[in-house]
């Protein structure tokens, strides 16, 4: 056994804990057997009635982390299926699509039978599937796309559907107690696809014939219709569909939101009735918006992937997904700066960490153990925000003039990650920070300390290091503030010079912005100028 495998077997990071559940499912570390299908299957599900969203990203990213952890524990091959439930009935016309009147005429049909309102694909389902694949590809995820329609119509689901029919009464007995009295009267796990209209029907099933593989249902016009359950003639209700998918594909692992725990428990019961083994599961907490309310795709509260990526690199979003998945967290614009800086700190540490500690580093799980060159030369997102603030500009070319002082030799061409970070920070500053900056004038004690710092900075040379500047800032504060009040000194610097309650490490910031520029900033503050205005 390799040392990495030994360390992975003891690692406490949650993806390794989840991966060890899969190992135990297969017989344990020493006796693991490859499943009959030839690989371990991890699955994520997607409902293509709308575009991919931040929950889609989170589920695939987290499942990928578990898959990568499993690879360190076992040599058994793995696959990740991104399964689209695209045979689901089209229930509601979205507000954000063209040709809405045309779509309304196709309500109830499978999504892959609804025309594409954008005119680019064979169906609305195909359009959204393409968007899903492009979305996942843009992040470099390794997966295999699977279409529910293709599984139903090709016959690959037929053995599972016949098994469902063979155990129809038992499965109905599991489902009916979870429904209201009125819904119980018409509920069936089988949803027939009407031969006349092509719609997926919520129709009462009045007879089943397991030997023939058929059901008889009452059509919308009252007529009794017999149809096979195979060949794409029926679609399963979604909880039964989830169970059927687990059974037919042999899913070994799937995660889902906390709100789906009851549904997962029902689906697991159905799999056992069919004679299968439910997958290992992991339920994660749901994200909250800025008011602490659950994020809803239909309400549009919270934050989208596109909005996050407008202000921060994708790795920071992956970090936010990796950290504490079983804790409810706010997902809003104000969490972005900290997420970026935490990512930068973690990825910078990764190459030099001992192997055991590296496995606990979230950056290891984001990058599958490979440390990328995503370091920003000690420049934090918070520092860039404050640079944009004191320079009073979001012009990237102007801001790069300051960066070159802090990172000699760096250019947008040879430091592309830093360049991207700067562009996003400048945009974030304009949209969220600039209007909320509140500068104040210093009091007498603070004026004396600021004047002292000004004089100290004047005596320093241009090659003084950021760490030495930090020490001088600290010493200037000690000369005027009692030891227990030194936090107030740094608060003064942030509030008076930066117009913020919190700020960066001042030594690094002064080195970045320039010693002489900070001296002029202090002199303006001492003169009673409004630092919120350009110099």
Distance CA 87, CA 526 (A): 69
- Residues of the chain where predicted confidence (pLDDT) is lower than 50: 1, 535
Instruction: State the DSSP H helix or E strand holding residue 40, giving kind and residue range, or none if neither.
Output: strand 40-46
Give the Å distances, CA to CA, from 201 to 228, 237, 393: 15, 10, 59
- What pLDDT does residue 535 have? 46
**Count of all residues that appear for the chain in the document:** 535
How many Å apart are CA 329 and CA 24, to the nearest integer? 30
**pTM confidence score:** 0.92
444-526 in CATH: which number? Answer: 1.10.10.350
What letter would DSSP give residue 354? Answer: -
SS3 297: coil
To 5 degrees, how large is the angle CA 518–CA 457–CA 378? 65
**From residue 59, how far is each of 24, 56, 166, 282, 521 by CA, in Å?**
22, 5, 33, 11, 47
The SS3 of residue 4 is helix
The residues spanned by each domain of the chain are 3-154, 179-236, 305-366, 381-436, 444-526
Q: Give the C-alpha separation, 96 to 31, whole Å.
A: 52
Helices (H), ranges, 368-514 = 381-391, 396-406, 416-428, 444-459, 466-478, 486-492, 506-513
- Tokens at residue 73, please? 């524990």
Q: Could you tell me whether strands 205-209 and 190-192 are parallel, antiparallel, or unpaired per DSSP bridges?
A: unpaired
Task: Round to whole Å and give the CA distance between 186 and 53.
Answer: 33
Helix or strand (DSSP H, E) at 58 = helix 54-73
Residue 236: CB atoms within 10 Å: 26
Query: Could you count the other beta carbons within 10 Å of the beta carbon of residue 398?
Result: 14
278 neighbors 272 (Cβ within 8 angstroms): yes
Q: Retrieve residue 102's tokens.
A: 């045309």
Three-class SS state of 258 = helix
| Pairing mode, strands 234-236 and 253-257 | unpaired
Interstrand relation of 40-46 and 78-84 (parallel, antiparallel or unpaired): parallel
> Structure tokens of 63?
């499942």
Question: Which residues are CB-contacts of 196 (< 8 A; sequence separation ≥ 6)?
Answer: 219
DSSP summary character for residue 429? I
Tokens of 477: 């504060």
Which DSSP letter does residue 156 get? T
Give the torsion through C-alpha atoms of 400, 508, 423, 299, to 10 deg.
-170
Q: Which two tokens stand for residue 259?
A: 């709100």
| Rounded-to-integer distance, Cα 81 and Cα 79, Å | 6
Q: How far is CA 58 from CA 372, 387, 414, 513, in A?
A: 21, 32, 31, 37
**Number of C-beta neighbours around residue 412 at 10 A:** 15
How many other CB atoms are found less than 10 A from the CB of residue 18? 23
Answer whether CATH 2.40.50.140 is correct for domain 3-154: no
Helix 238-249 vs helix 158-166: crossing angle, to nearest 10: 120
Q: Which of 394, 432, 431, 397 is nearest to 411 (CA)?
A: 397
The terminus-to-terminus CA distance of the chain in angstroms comes to 65
Rg (alpha carbons) of the chain, rounded to whole number: 29
The single residue listed with the structure tokens 């495998």 is 5
Architecture in CATH for domain 179-236: Roll (2.30)
Give SS3 for 178: helix
Q: Are 507 and 467 in contact (CB under 8 A)?
A: yes
pLDDT of 405 reads 86
* β pairing state of 144-147 and 78-84: parallel
């Amino acid at each position: 056994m390799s040392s990495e495998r030994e360390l992975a077997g003891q690692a406490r990071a949650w993806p390794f804990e989840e991966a060890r559940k899969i190992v135990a499912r297969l017989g344990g570390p020493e006796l693991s057997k490859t499943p009959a299908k030839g690989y371990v299957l991890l699955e994520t599900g997607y409902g293509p009635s709308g575009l991919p969203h931040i929950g889609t990203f989170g589920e695939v990213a987290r499942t990928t982390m578990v898959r990568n952890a499993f690879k360190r524990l076992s040599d058994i091959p793995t696959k990740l299926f991104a399964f689209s439930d695209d045979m689901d009935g089209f229930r509601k016309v979205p507000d954000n699509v063209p040709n809405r009147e045309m779509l309304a005429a196709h309500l109830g049909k499978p999504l892959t039978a609804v025309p594409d309102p954008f005119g680019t694909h064979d169906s609305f389902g195909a359009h959204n599937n393409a968007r899903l694949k492009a979305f996942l590809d843009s992040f470099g995820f390794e997966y295999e796309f699977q279409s529910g329609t293709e599984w139903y119509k090709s016959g690959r689901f037929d053995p599972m559907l016949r098994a469902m029919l063979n155990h129809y009464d038992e499965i109905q007995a599991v489902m009916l107690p979870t429904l209201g009295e009125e819904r119980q009267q018409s509920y069936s796990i089988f949803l027939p696809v009407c031969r006349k209209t092509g719609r997926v029907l919520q129709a009462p099933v009045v007879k089943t014939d397991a030997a023939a593989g058929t059901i008889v249902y009452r059509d919308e016009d009252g007529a009794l219709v017999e149809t096979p359950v195979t060949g794409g003639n029926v679609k399963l209700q979604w909880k039964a569909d989830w169970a059927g998918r687990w059974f037919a594909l042999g899913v070994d692992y799937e995660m889902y939101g906390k709100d789906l725990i009851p549904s997962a428990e029902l689906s697991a019961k159905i799999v056992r009735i069919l004679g299968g083994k439910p997958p290992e599961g992991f339920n994660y907490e749901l994200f909250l918006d800025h008011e602490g309310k659950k994020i809803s795709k239909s309400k549009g509260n919270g934050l989208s992937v596109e909005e996050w990526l407008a202000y921060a690199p994708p790795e920071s979003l992956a970090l936010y997904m990796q950290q504490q998945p079983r804790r409810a967290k706010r997902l809003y614009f104000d969490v972005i700066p900290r997420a970026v800086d935490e990512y930068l700190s973690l990825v910078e540490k990764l190459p030099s960490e001992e192997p055991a500690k590296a496995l606990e580093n979230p950056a290891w799980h984001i990058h599958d153990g490979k440390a990328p060159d995503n370091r920003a030369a000690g420049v934090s997102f918070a520092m860039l925000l404050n640079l944009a603030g004191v320079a009073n500009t979001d012009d990237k070319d102007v801001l790069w003039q300051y960066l070159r002082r802090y990172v000699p030799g760096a250019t947008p061409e040879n430091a592309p990650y830093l360049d991207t970070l700067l562009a996003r920070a400048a945009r974030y500053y304009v949209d969220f920070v600039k209007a909320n900056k509140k500068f104040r004038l210093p009091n007498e004690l603070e004026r004396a300390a600021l004047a002292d710092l000004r004089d100290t900075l004047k005596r320093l040379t241009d090659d003084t290091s950021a760490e030495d500047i930090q020490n001088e800032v600290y010493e200037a504060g000690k000369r005027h503030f009692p030891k227990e009040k030194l936090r107030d000194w740094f608060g003064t610097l942030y509030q008076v010079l930066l117009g913020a309650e919190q700020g960066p490490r001042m030594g690094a910031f002064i080195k970045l912005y320039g010693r002489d520029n900070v001296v002029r900033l202090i002199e303006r503050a001492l003169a009673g100028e409004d630092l919120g205005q350009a110099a």
